[in-house]
Amino acid sequence: MALLSDDAIAIAQGVSVTPAPGWTVGNRGPNWVALNNADTTAQLRITVKPAGGADAAGLLQADIDQFTGGASAILTDVNRLTAPETKPLPGPNFQQEASVDYTATVVNPQGTIPVIGTFTELLNTSNGRSAFIDFRQDSSATGQAAGEGAMMIGSMQ
């Protein structure tokens, strides 16, 4: 399903993302969506949930552990390249952001694919809701994919 860049996708009540041009919905479920770029070399997956805390960096670490642990994880050999970086956000939907860059291997039916990416946690300190975001790209992604990912994350704030 191709979307125009101004077609925001609702993820959960009051939270949406505006896809970059050429990005499409790859999959979705209750309170989550996965977007792919045109050649599927990059993916942005967003899950909105109750935060369970007021520390964006701590929530990020817990969400990474949950997302990458267990038998159903599609990311293996996850190597966190940075400590969580946190910053305040001026937007109405989220007031804190924490992020960690990583390398990993995606496991799929066609084999394994090395990827680089960023895990991001957006936290709404007033309503206790957070968004856990996994942006990843493989080595054949264009240079603009990371900028498109950042733009889409920014559209949620």
Is the residue at 66 inside a domain?
yes
- Return the percentage of the chain with pLDDT > 70, whole number: 96
- pLDDT tens digit string along 16-34? 999 999 999 999 999 999 9
Strand partners, 86: 98
pLDDT band at 1 (very low <50, low <70, confident <90, very high): very low
Is the residue at 81 inside a domain?
yes
| Longest alpha-carbon distance in the chain | 43
Structure-token pair, residue 61: 């670490």
- pLDDT tens digit string along 133-151? 999 999 999 889 999 999 9
Q: What is the mean pLDDT of residues 106-134?
A: 93
Which residue, among 30, 51, 46, has the nearest Cα to 118 in the 3D structure?
Answer: 46
Is the residue at 32 inside a domain?
yes
Q: What is the mean pLDDT of residues 49-77?
A: 90
Under 8 Å between Cβ of 122 and 94 = yes
pLDDT band at 6 (very low <50, low <70, confident <90, very high): low
Residue 21's contacts (CB-CB under 8 Å, 6 or more residues apart) are 4, 5
Is the residue at 3 inside a domain?
no
Is the residue at 90 inside a domain?
yes
Write the CATH number for 122: 3.40.1000.10
**Residue 100 reports pLDDT greater than 70:** yes
pLDDT band at 12 (very low <50, low <70, confident <90, very high): very high
Q: What is the pLDDT of residue 3?
A: 44
Mean pLDDT of the chain: 91
Is the residue at 4 inside a domain?
no
Give the gyration radius of the chain's Cα atoms: 15
Is the residue at 139 inside a domain?
yes
Overall number of domains in the chain: 1
Is the residue at 2 inside a domain?
no
Please give the residue range of the domain that contains residue 69: 9-156
Please say whether the dihedral angle defined by the alpha carbons of residues 46, 82, 69 and 24, taken in this order, is positive or negative: positive
CA angle 17, 20, 22 (to 5 degrees): 125
